[in-house]
Chains A and B, each alone.
Chain A
């Protein structure tokens, strides 16, 4: 068997140009796949990070039915102080939840004394909020160039969304009046100073303004500790699903008088349309892998069939001098296997080099207001090994038919080929 391997190896060396051409093709395929996986993966991770860490949080808890009507920011689906307390008790017991932020979302009118526009707002506790969605800070500009010191959201301050600020020519420091309808239908207003402009994000909530929760209570004449959204941050984002299940289980135990659950919990995927883009990236990855398999299959099969036809005389000779069909079969299978291994190894190494180079180049791109996001492509060892194995297995499979063909050649027929 070792001898057969040696002959297979030497045959590959004999047809240097063809071997190189085929391995280069396989190599390029692997490089394309691995670099794509690394870059797309890093892009996806950055995007998801931006969405969860600057706006949504990892998980959100609402009163049952709130998410379905989230577009009109209802105030009749708030969690009352007792319910908030219950949720807080549960959250405090979950070690995987590092922080949570209470939000009161509502709609109102913003006026700069000459123009009035609709606005959607989040009443927040800025300390809680920035702990739960730390990247929000980067979205908020305080006017004096790049924000060096964190933006404040003290009582009497407001962060207005970027698009509104542009349309109404608002600057940090400007005075505005916020008017909102209360739960009982009456209208109230308060005067606030702009302390930050919030950059837009894709998805619901991406064009909301922010104000201090206490101001929100005053404006809406809410006495108790009422909120309609609780955003959560986990210590391990990779355990999103399990944490979600645990929380869902815990929350579902709390029922109302009609024995229906009071709360609902959602992962960020259920709340952001970007999760579909993330899914598309995953699909593309699969698609690119399928293309790789096709390239490897076709090129190896082609080169191995050529090898069989070119070496019919040789096959006849070794068959005549006592090489069994099985050994001839394994000879050609091994040639394909070696081609695959060679392509897989060089392809993996080149991919690693390219990925390293991309990191070193600090590729940047912009997403919303974030315009210097640095792409840091990484590839998991399992991904490299998996792809290399696929290529090696497919190379061997592609050689199967040519190898069977070679092993079935009748020596008399084969020897006649001159």
Chain B
């Protein structure tokens, strides 16, 4: 079942007189509940692609269909709402809100979409913190915990609104190899538990780990697509 479909998705950047094609004619279909990886060297267009899928940027041409909507056509307020309701994000630099505690960071997206019951929410946040392994850090501020722990908090924050798709652009680029591996494993585990769809990018082929679908990006086009699931 298709969760997200792109059609001839292209993005050009205008640099003075020259136009750089960061992404050209990308067609892909992401299935619900899959663990997708986008790999490619630096500058191959990974971030450009994930920003478009993540409703953070608008394409130069082509379309993105998700949740029965053409998301490339939304205005900035609608995009913010769409992101809050349907998407979760994990960033390369963790991007926790420095003035909020671990608990409050995870709580934040919920408050932005104002979903009801407080007691239920609280339990959900604590369960997530437990699942990603930072329950004991819940009262600490981001600067008081390690990079690996911050990224765990970020994963919990991305999942708290039960999004259909979590987008992680190079979530391991600022972590050592061991920690990177653990984070990818954590995301896979969380995906299996929550039946969310994950898409992450990396320039490091060694950590692809348990990715089920692997897109290889080169110069803004998809060079290869690999499906590692055991098809029945």
Contact = CB atoms under 8 A, between A and B. Distances in A.
B66 to A, nearest CB: 15
A322 B112 contact: yes
Nearest to B54: A320
B98 A324 contact: no
A415 interface: yes
B112 A323 contact: yes
The residue in B100, B111, B157 that gathers the most chain A C-beta atoms within 10 A of its C-beta is B111
B103 to A, nearest CB: 13
Contact of A321 (B98, B99, B108): B108
Interface string A311-342: 00110111111111111000000000000000
A319 B76 CA distance: 10
A327 B112 contact: yes
Given A325-B77, A415-B56, A320 B89 contact: yes
Interface stretch (B79-87, B130-138, B224-232): B79-87
A412 B97 contact: no
Nearest to A311: B98
B69 to A, nearest CB: 15
Given A320-B83, A324-B81, A415-B91, 18 more contacts: A314-B95, A314-B97, A317-B91, A317-B97, A318-B108, A320-B95, A321-B83, A321-B84, A321-B89, A321-B108, A321-B157, A322-B83, A322-B87, A322-B112, A322-B113, A326-B77, A410-B57, A412-B57
Contacts of B81: 322, 324
A227 to B, nearest CB: 78
A3 interface: yes
Contacts of A314: 95, 97-98
A47 B93 CA distance: 68
Given A322-B112, A327-B112, A412-B57, A11 B76 contact: no
B100 A322 contact: no
Interface string B149-170: 0000000011001000000000
15 contacts: A10-B100, A320-B83, A321-B84, A321-B88, A321-B112, A321-B158, A322-B85, A323-B80, A323-B112, A325-B77, A325-B80, A327-B112, A410-B56, A412-B57, A415-B56
A80 to B, nearest CB: 84
Interface in B30-78: 51, 54, 56-57, 76-77
Contacts of A323: 80, 84, 112
Interface of B: 51, 54, 56-57, 76-77, 80-81, 83-85, 87-89, 91, 93, 95, 97-100, 108-109, 111-113, 157-158, 161
A418 B56 contact: no
Interface residues of A, number: 25
Contacts of B100: 7, 10
A49 interface: no
A14 interface: yes
Contacts of A313: 93, 95
A134 interface: no
A-B CB proximity, top 9 nearest: A322-B84, A10-B99, A317-B95, A412-B57, A322-B112, A324-B80, A3-B111, A322-B83, A411-B56
B22 to A, nearest CB: 12
B178 to A, nearest CB: 24
B99 A325 contact: no
Contacts of A319: 80
Contacts of B98: 14, 314
